[in-house]
């Protein structure tokens, strides 16, 4: 732009360039399209989320053993008015996984009007006796559910854990060694199967004391080297069975003498205390 003043030609820059004007128009149009598109999507979503066509007609529930499909459906919060578009999959999963017996849940939409729920329940490995009652514990050390009168009680019992109430769905590290010993017995020797473990007591010092179901004398396991101690104890029990001295056993100490470098098997010596009483046959 030029302008004459007293014989001089003066050039002034234009306040707005053509490119800037066009860019501003494009941005304004795009912004308007986004707003209109968002409003249209919201209206469409609201229409779909209220449509009878997408109302849930069937919920396929799998994985129930201790729980029931009726309980799963109740915990999920679903009902006949639930719309598949409006269903919050993540919220349902969190509701289910907050239940004591549910370790994990998978929720899937099957369009147009079905839902599939697959749950993975916690599997008890033992029971733990607390001040507030008897609770199931899984192999990860999670104390997760109170044992009810109708529940299966054919599990080893862990005693001596000094806590006032069940810690919910968090791992209890003080149970690790006792549970590890039970896991060994699950797939271990015939002389000491899991079914013959009645109780494992935790002393205040953290030592383990084992009591068997068929003859409740104490077996002092101590701490550490559980795999070595398990197989060594199995060998001792087999010897007692063969010699017909098992019923005379009064106590077994797995760490009677500490091991040394000359002890090929490691882990110290085992002391078996026998009583004078001999049961009548």
pLDDT at position 266, please?
A: 46
Q: Which helix (H) or strand (E) holds 269?
A: strand 269-274
The residue among 171, 103, 110 whose CA lies nearest residue 137 is: 171
In a domain, residue 27? The reply is: no
In a domain, residue 185? The reply is: yes
Which has more confidence, 24 or 115? 115
pLDDT over 70 percentage in the chain: 73
Residues 202-252 pLDDT 10s: 999 999 999 999 998 999 999 989 999 999 999 999 999 999 999 999 999
* 215 and 246 Cβ atoms separated by less than 8 Å: yes
Calculate the average pLDDT of the chain: 82
Residues 132 and 102 in one domain: no
> 3-class DSSP state for residue 199?
strand
Residues 69 and 174 in one domain: no
CATH classification of the domain holding 96: 3.10.20.310
Residues 109 and 147 in one domain: no
Q: Which helix (H) or strand (E) holds 249?
A: strand 249-257
- Whether the ω angle into residue 112 lies within 30 degrees of 0, i.e. cis, is yes
Asked whether residue 145 carries a pLDDT value surpassing 70, the answer given is yes
Phi/psi at 14 (5° precision): -65, 140
The order of strands in the sheet holding 58-62 is: 58-62, 114-121, 102-110
Q: Which of 82-91, 175-184, 266-275 has the lowest mean pLDDT?
A: 266-275
Average pLDDT over residues 247-267: 68
pLDDT over 90 percentage in the chain: 51
Residues forming a β-bridge with 11: 2
Asked whether residue 281 carries a pLDDT value surpassing 60, the answer given is no
pLDDT at position 111, please?
A: 85
pLDDT at position 178, please?
A: 96
At which residue do the structure tokens 């006796």 appear?
A: 129
Q: How far apart are CA 67 and CA 279, in angstroms?
A: 45
Phi/psi at 180 (5° precision): -60, -40
pLDDT at position 9, please?
A: 57
List CB contacts of 206: < 8 A, sequence separation 6 or more.
Answer: 174, 177, 223
Q: Give 14's pLDDT tier (boundaries 50, 70, 90).
A: low
**106: domain range?**
55-121
Q: Which helix (H) or strand (E) holds 146?
A: strand 143-146
- Of 121, 137, 163, the last residue of a domain is 121
Asked whether residue 261 carries a pLDDT value surpassing 50, the answer given is no
Q: Give 253's pLDDT tier (boundaries 50, 70, 90).
A: very high
Residues 158 and 257 in one domain: yes
Residues 174 and 141 in one domain: yes
Residues 136 and 87 in one domain: no
- Of 76, 106, 121, the last residue of a domain is 121
Q: Give 200's pLDDT tier (boundaries 50, 70, 90).
A: very high
Residues 175 and 97 in one domain: no
Q: Give 10's pLDDT tier (boundaries 50, 70, 90).
A: low
Cα separations in angstroms, 128 against 39, 124, 163, 189, 211:
57, 10, 11, 24, 14
Q: Give 263's pLDDT tier (boundaries 50, 70, 90).
A: very low
Which has more confidence, 179 or 255? 179
């Amino acid at each position: 732009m030029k302008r004459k003043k007293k014989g001089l030609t003066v050039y002034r820059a234009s306040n707005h360039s053509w490119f800037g004007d066009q860019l501003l128009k494009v941005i304004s149009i795009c912004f308007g399209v986004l707003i209109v598109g968002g409003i249209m999507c919201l209206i469409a979503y609201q229409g779909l989320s209220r449509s009878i066509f997408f109302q849930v007609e069937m919920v396929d529930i799998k994985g129930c053993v201790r729980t029931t499909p009726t309980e799963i459906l109740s915990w999920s919060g679903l009902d006949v008015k639930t719309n598949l578009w409006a269903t919050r999959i993540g919220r349902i999963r969190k509701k289910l996984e907050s239940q004591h017996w549910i370790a994990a849940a998978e929720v899937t939409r099957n369009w147009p009007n079905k839902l599939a729920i697959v749950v993975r329940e916690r599997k008890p490995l033992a029971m733990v006796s607390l001040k507030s009652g008897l609770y199931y514990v899984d192999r990860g050390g999670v104390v997760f559910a109170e044992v009810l009168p109708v529940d299966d009680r054919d599990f080893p019992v862990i005693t001596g854990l000094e806590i006032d109430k069940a810690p919910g769905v968090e791992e209890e590290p003080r149970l690790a060694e006792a549970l590890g010993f039970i896991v060994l017995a699950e797939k271990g020797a015939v002389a000491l199967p899991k079914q013959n473990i009645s109780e494992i007591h935790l002393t205040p010092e953290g030592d383990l004391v084992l009591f068997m179901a068929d003859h409740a004398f104490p077996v002092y396991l101590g701490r550490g080297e559980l795999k070595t101690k398990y197989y060594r104890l199995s060998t001792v029990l087999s010897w007692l069975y063969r010699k017909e001295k098992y019923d005379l056993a009064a106590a077994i100490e797995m760490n009677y003498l500490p091991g040394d470098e000359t002890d090929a098997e490691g882990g110290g010596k085992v002391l078996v205390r026998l009583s004078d009483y001999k049961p009548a046959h």
